[in-house]
Amino acid sequence: MGKRDNKTGLVADWKSLEKVFIRPENDSGKQTLIKYMEQILFGLHDFLNTHVGVTEEISLKELTDDFRETRINQDPEKKLAQVITDIIDEIAPKAVNVASPYFVGHMTSAVPFFMVHLKTITAALNQNVIKLETSKVLSVIEKQVLAKVHRLIYGKDKGFYEEHVQHVESSLGAFTAGGTTANLTALRVARNTLFKPRNGFDGVEKHGMAAALKEYGADRVVVLVSRRAHFSIEKAWGILGAGSSNVIPVDVDEQHRVNIKKLNSMIKEIQKDGKTIIAAVVGIAGTTETGSVDPLKEMGEICRKHSIHFHVDAAWGGPVLLSDRYAHLLDGIAEADSVTIDCHKQFYMPMTSGMVFFRDPWAMDTVAYYSNYVNRRGSVDIGIKTLEGSREANSLILDSALKIMGARGYALMIDHGIDTAQKFASEIEKRQLFELAVPPRLNIVTYRIVPERLQKELENSDPGHRKRINEIVSGINKNVQRKQRERGKSFVSRTRLRIHQQDRQASVVLRTVVMNPMTDIHILKEILDEQEGIFKELCCD
Amino acid sequence: MGKRDNKTGLVADWKSLEKVFIRPENDSGKQTLIKYMEQILFGLHDFLNTHVGVTEEISLKELTDDFRETRINQDPEKKLAQVITDIIDEIAPKAVNVASPYFVGHMTSAVPFFMVHLKTITAALNQNVIKLETSKVLSVIEKQVLAKVHRLIYGKDKGFYEEHVQHVESSLGAFTAGGTTANLTALRVARNTLFKPRNGFDGVEKHGMAAALKEYGADRVVVLVSRRAHFSIEKAWGILGAGSSNVIPVDVDEQHRVNIKKLNSMIKEIQKDGKTIIAAVVGIAGTTETGSVDPLKEMGEICRKHSIHFHVDAAWGGPVLLSDRYAHLLDGIAEADSVTIDCHKQFYMPMTSGMVFFRDPWAMDTVAYYSNYVNRRGSVDIGIKTLEGSREANSLILDSALKIMGARGYALMIDHGIDTAQKFASEIEKRQLFELAVPPRLNIVTYRIVPERLQKELENSDPGHRKRINEIVSGINKNVQRKQRERGKSFVSRTRLRIHQQDRQASVVLRTVVMNPMTDIHILKEILDEQEGIFKELCCD
């Protein structure tokens, strides 16, 4: 099996095995374990602090050169101390410093340091919340935390939560591996509720999509969602056997929010053909690319009227509900039949944890599975209705974080992100070289570099010429983004958006996510300065 | 939104927010962070050591009483120090001590202490391996570790691994949230490969199951798997829109291994009807209930002959390949088109992490998704082909663990489990009160209590009477298992198995998983003693 020979002199024997399983009783042994933690916390800490830029400049070729060995060594290669040292010295500098306030390109950021402690606790307890027998109180905490966030979203009355918070058989939601499996769970519930058992047909989960469409007299079943949707919606529909091409994009307005008129006319048209069923309409609270929030209230009303499942993907925006100042931006979210929120995004938890919620505490009954050895009928095992099987107790981290931060602590971060995004948008509008793509609604800002000469050409051109100019501008922005990333001082990302209604094609824009509370307007100005500098170099070289 | 008032005097302000994001520079601040880690490591450590039993005896009612509040507090409720203290004093005693060598009921156990350190590192780095821009070298490490385990399974030649270990576009496998999503990924690849694009049909992922069945001229598509399969296989097929009832159980022999004759005749019969396609045959390397290993070699040959996708669910048994003494038990695994292995099982990693492997490095092309802001075409982003979106860098933990333990270190644990299971089986056979259900193949032992009087009755009875006796015996075993669990000194689980070929119905059996290296035959004897004691109390009360 191609294992390698011993070169280190380390051997695997029963004595060393016992050592790693039986924690030390004596002080010196304990001190060693603590010393390792110190190394981890402050070795990495030094990297995170001194390494101001986001990553070392290094080519993919160079990066992979040291990671080509594919044999597993027979004997131990390193002790823990050496592993930690190597990670600090060799790995961390080649990782991405997502904690840097100059890292504003993606929805990954610094986490409060206590999150690392909480993750350590979860690992040390190593509970498996698939079933009560391997989690006990952690299953109970999971149900409680889900009820807390459910209440934040839906605000049902006290009696509702008293009934369901620890109800053995109902489910207010579930923790998931992330936003993708949360969306997948929501759409699976929508699919299974739509094609539920009737007249000897046992339902789509049991008999499959082909049998379900036959039973319900349809050719296909579709989901309607904004053109700005995360690709996990399409992926989920593809996984569910309904076909990713049956996710129908709805046009958006200039704010990149679902166009309600279009949505209405699409529903009307689809319902006319008689052979297509709409399984769900998905609204987005915080699109990945622009941070836009769909008109949730109107969408909810439309869905109610037509009895269509309304899912809200609030993977990004959900925690905005904790802010008294900005919760109103998500008005209408309580109309949703299901809601996705990610913990590793604006709940600032370490990778990865998602959640999905259902207005109806019995909705998840449509996705239940039982077995003889766990998840028996009538048991309180949470794993009965989750898509994932074994799962760590991430609820303990969220529960603790809510206690340490309070709603107000989270609100400070939410408010800072939105306020700073506004300031950043103003700054962009002030600068000659830049064009704001979408006025920010939450804390995501999209913009692009458009040199003055090309700006003028764009203003006075026919569509064909505009297209050519936009392609040149796209090339410029792509190059500046790449160059900035390679320099490793700061990082913004890029995507493609249709910025002007008169253009048919999408153009490259720069994308900034303001979630790190240490990212302030001064840092964002520096980032613009750097982009101006790079642009000048590129255009004059 | 029902938030609560401030009772603690703690307030959320910008100053405290900065404190949790900017790590302390001065020694006293650093010492505080270390002190917390000490509390975590040794506070929980004391619980894990002094709390010999597996859990405090407490009713579900009592357990839930303290966890009914559903409002999120506006202000902070606790400081980190208090949270940690409360977890140690209030939560941990109501959790399950899965690290106890007396906890032998499930596939969750103690982990080497260094795993907790490695998880801490992963949380502190907080990389997101969905894309290179948020993970860089961690994406590279993931590819390398996957290649290492791929080589352990498939043992292809050096050139193969040199080509693919860091190939930008091919994939030897993927890390997943766990075994369930690994199996789901494998069956999705099988589904998509079977119903691939042809003649203007864009494939099942795009057009859905109904269109695919129509294009390929079939009524349904099935998966064949042992009756002992984990329920995630059915769940996966249900999620995929193929219908959970289209997972067809194959009968097993007395060792609870797939009956090859039956498998052959079932394939023949299904292929005769002309309207049913077999998408996959699944072999199991370590069934959840009995630890049985299917005849992988023969199954592989049958699949090759009929061009059927052969998936092996080695979630449990995979790491047995690291043992020179026992790797042969998995002979034939290299015949698999795809293989599932869990990291949080016999790789002894903290919850949760799974992996799926494919013999064909291009097989995962059938599940690729792209978008404009990440996972662009031609990029090296790992998230293009994974079912999950954002993901933590669990590969760093496995990579480090393999270096610290070596293959031989893991082999010691594997060998200990299998050897101890053999000893345990002998001990059960020696004791009058017990009946061994299945001779252990790996490290899982199933058995039951059968009082002498009932043993005799079983031997000399007609089927109807046997059924009644077996029901009484099942009741006894259920009660003993429950009572032992409630006492909280040790924990075995229970399931239902058809033990004797002459019985049609399944009976309750006790189930022991020997994975904790600290679980030795003396402890297992104590557990049997306790069961004898409980039985005597129950029968004589």
- End-to-end Cα spacing for chain B: 53
Picking from A103, A120, A509, A512 by the largest number of B CB atoms within 10 A of its own CB, the best residue to mutate is A120
For B382-423, the pLDDT digits (tens) are 999 999 999 999 999 999 999 999 999 999 999 999 999 999
Residue predicted with more confidence, A2 or B274: B274
Cα→Cα distances A110→A45, A94, B108, B126, Å = 12, 17, 31, 8
| Average of per-residue pLDDT across A70-74 | 97
Picking from B352, B353, B498, B507 by the largest number of A CB atoms within 10 A of its own CB, the best residue to mutate is B352
Question: Average pLDDT, whole number, for chain B?
Answer: 93
Residues 6+ apart with CB under 8 A from B43: B84, B85, B88, B92
Residue predicted with more confidence, A519 or A371: A519
Kindly tell me if the per-residue pLDDT of B283 is higher than 80: yes
Residue A479 identity (one-letter amino acid): N
Q: Which tokens is B309 given? A: 């996708």
Cα→Cα distances A247→A430, B230, B368, Å = 39, 32, 16
What percentage of chain A carries pLDDT values higher than 90?
A: 83
Q: Does the beta-carbon distance from A98 to B134 stay under 8 Å?
A: yes
Residue predicted with more confidence, B145 or A378: B145
Residues 6+ apart with CB under 8 A from B328: none
* pLDDT recorded at residue B50: 61
- Kindly list the residues from chain A whose CB atom is less than 8 angstroms away from the CB atom of residue B245: 202, 206-207
Range of lowest pLDDT (A8-12, A214-218, B269-273, B312-316): A8-12
Which of B172, B232, B362, B131 lies closest to A231, judged by CA?
A: B131
- Kindly list the residues from chain B whose CB atom is less than 8 angstroms away from the CB atom of residue A34: 34, 37-38, 41
- End-to-end Cα spacing for chain A: 53
User: How far, in Å, CA of A412 to CA of A326, rounded?
Assistant: 11
The upper half-sphere exposure of residue B46, i.e. CA atoms within 13 Å in the direction of its Cβ, equals: 9
List helix spans (H) across B170-254. 179-194, 204-215, 231-239
- Kindly list the residues from chain A whose CB atom is less than 8 angstroms away from the CB atom of residue B5: none
Contact between B101 and B523 under an 8 Å Cβ cutoff? The reply is: yes
| pLDDT band at residue A3 under the 50/70/90 scheme | very low
- Kindly list the residues from chain A whose CB atom is less than 8 angstroms away from the CB atom of residue B116: 120, 123-124
Question: Average pLDDT, whole number, for chain A?
Answer: 93
User: Tokens 């070298």, residue?
Assistant: B137
pTM: 0.96
Nearest CA in chain A to B34: A38
Q: Does the beta-carbon distance from A106 to B128 stay under 8 Å?
A: yes
Q: How close is the nearest chain A Cα to the Cα of B443, in Å? A: 17
Please name the helix (run of DSSP H) or strand (run of DSSP E) that holds residue A224, with its range, or none: strand A220-226
- Kindly list the residues from chain A whose CB atom is less than 8 angstroms away from the CB atom of residue B122: 350-351
Q: Which tokens is B169 given? A: 């576009």
Residue B402 identity (one-letter amino acid): L
Contact between A457 and A492 under an 8 Å Cβ cutoff? The reply is: no
Which of A183, A176, A300 lies closest to A233, judged by CA?
A: A183
Rg of chain A in Å (alpha carbons): 26
What ipTM describes this predicted complex?
0.96
* pLDDT recorded at residue B27: 85
Kindly tell me if the per-residue pLDDT of B3 is higher than 50: no
- Cβ-count burial A495-531 (b if 16+ within 10 Å, e if not): bbbbbeeeeeeebbbbbbbbbbbbbebebbeebbebb
Q: Does the beta-carbon distance from B404 to A485 stay under 8 Å?
A: no
Q: How close is the nearest chain A Cα to the Cα of B538, in Å? A: 22
User: How far, in Å, CA of A491 to CA of A100, rounded?
Assistant: 9
Cα→Cα distances A57→A93, A96, A480, A485, Å = 10, 11, 15, 8
* pLDDT recorded at residue B58: 74
Q: Does the beta-carbon distance from B96 to A178 stay under 8 Å?
A: no
Which of A60, A494, A83, A240 lies closest to B387, judged by CA?
A: A240
| Average of per-residue pLDDT across A335-359 | 98
Q: Give the number of beta-carbon pairs within 8 Å between A and B.
A: 574
Nearest CA in chain A to B289: A373
Is residue B529 packed enough to be buried (19+ CB in 10 Å), middle (13-18) or exposed (0-12)?
exposed
* pLDDT recorded at residue B21: 86
Residue B221 identity (one-letter amino acid): V
Range of lowest pLDDT (A175-184, B78-87, B335-344, B369-378): B369-378
* pLDDT recorded at residue B80: 93
> Which of A21, A178, A411 is nearest residue B517 as measured by Cβ atoms?
A21
Cα→Cα distances B379→A117, B130, B167, B171, B372, Å = 34, 11, 11, 13, 11
Kindly tell me if the per-residue pLDDT of B4 is higher than 60: no
| pLDDT band at residue B2 under the 50/70/90 scheme | very low
The upper half-sphere exposure of residue B234, i.e. CA atoms within 13 Å in the direction of its Cβ, equals: 18
The upper half-sphere exposure of residue A56, i.e. CA atoms within 13 Å in the direction of its Cβ, equals: 15
| pLDDT band at residue B55 under the 50/70/90 scheme | low
Picking from A351, A355, A445 by the largest number of B CB atoms within 10 A of its own CB, the best residue to mutate is A351
Q: Does the beta-carbon distance from A141 to B91 stay under 8 Å?
A: yes
Residue B525 phi, psi dihedral angles, 5° rounding: -65, -40
> Which of B98, B143, B406 is nearest residue A127 as measured by Cβ atoms?
B98
User: How far, in Å, CA of A198 to CA of A202, rounded?
Assistant: 7
| Average of per-residue pLDDT across A259-278 | 96
* pLDDT recorded at residue B49: 65
Residue B135 burial (CB count, 10 A): 28
User: Tokens 């900017």, residue?
Assistant: B22
Please tell me chain A's helix, strand, coil percentages from 3-state DSSP, rounded to the nearest 5.
50, 15, 35
Instruction: Assign 3-class secondary structure to B419-465.
Output: HHHHHHHHHHHHCCCEEEEECCCCCEEEEEECCHHHHHHHHCCCHHH
User: How far, in Å, CA of A216 to CA of A195, rounded?
Assistant: 7
| pLDDT band at residue A2 under the 50/70/90 scheme | very low
* pLDDT recorded at residue A502: 83
User: How far, in Å, CA of B215 to CA of B378, rounded?
Assistant: 30
Sheet (strand A247-250) strand order: A173-176, A354-358, A338-342, A309-313, A276-284, A220-226, A247-250
* pLDDT recorded at residue A53: 57
What percentage of chain B carries pLDDT values higher than 70?
A: 96
| pLDDT band at residue A44 under the 50/70/90 scheme | confident
For A145-202, the pLDDT digits (tens) are 999 999 999 999 999 999 999 999 999 999 999 999 999 999 999 999 999 999 899 9
Q: Does the beta-carbon distance from B243 to A380 stay under 8 Å?
A: no
CA angle B525, B531, B537 (to 5 degrees): 140
Q: Does the beta-carbon distance from A95 to B20 stay under 8 Å?
A: no
| pLDDT band at residue B1 under the 50/70/90 scheme | very low
CA angle A384, A387, A390 (to 5 degrees): 70
User: How far, in Å, CA of B345 to CA of A134, rounded?
Assistant: 14
Cα→Cα distances A220→A256, A274, A371, A516, B300, Å = 28, 10, 32, 43, 36
User: How far, in Å, CA of A476 to CA of A57, rounded?
Assistant: 21
| Average of per-residue pLDDT across A322-330 | 98
User: How far, in Å, CA of B146 to CA of B166, rounded?
Assistant: 10
Cα→Cα distances A376→A47, A57, A106, Å = 48, 53, 42
> Which of A78, A127, A374 is nearest residue B96 as measured by Cβ atoms?
A127
Cα→Cα distances B48→A15, A270, B242, B325, B483, Å = 20, 60, 45, 32, 22
User: How far, in Å, CA of B340 to CA of B1, rounded?
Assistant: 44
User: How far, in Å, CA of B96 to CA of B94, rounded?
Assistant: 7
Handedness of CA B381, A109, A96, A103 (dihedral sign): positive
The answer, yes or no, to whether the previous bond of B519 is cis (omega within 30 of 0) is no
| Average of per-residue pLDDT across A201-217 | 98
Please name the helix (run of DSSP H) or strand (run of DSSP E) that holds residue B357, with its range, or none: strand B354-358
User: How far, in Å, CA of B194 to CA of A45, rounded?
Assistant: 49
**Beta-strand runs (E) in A99-169:** none
- Kindly list the residues from chain A whose CB atom is less than 8 angstroms away from the CB atom of residue B38: 30, 34, 37
* pLDDT recorded at residue A54: 63
User: How far, in Å, CA of B201 to CA of A410, rounded?
Assistant: 49
* pLDDT recorded at residue B7: 66
> Which of B17, B117, B165 is nearest residue A517 as measured by Cβ atoms?
B17
Residue B388 identity (one-letter amino acid): E
Strands B507-513, B434-438: parallel, antiparallel or unpaired by DSSP?
Answer: unpaired
Cα→Cα distances B116→A37, A90, A346, B110, B123, Å = 10, 21, 25, 11, 11
- Kindly list the residues from chain A whose CB atom is less than 8 angstroms away from the CB atom of residue B136: 55, 63, 94-96
Contacts 24+ apart (CB under 8 A), A525-528: A525/A427, A526/A102, A526/A490, A527/A102, A527/A104, A527/A484, A527/A490, A527/A492, A528/A427, A528/A428, A528/A431, A528/A434
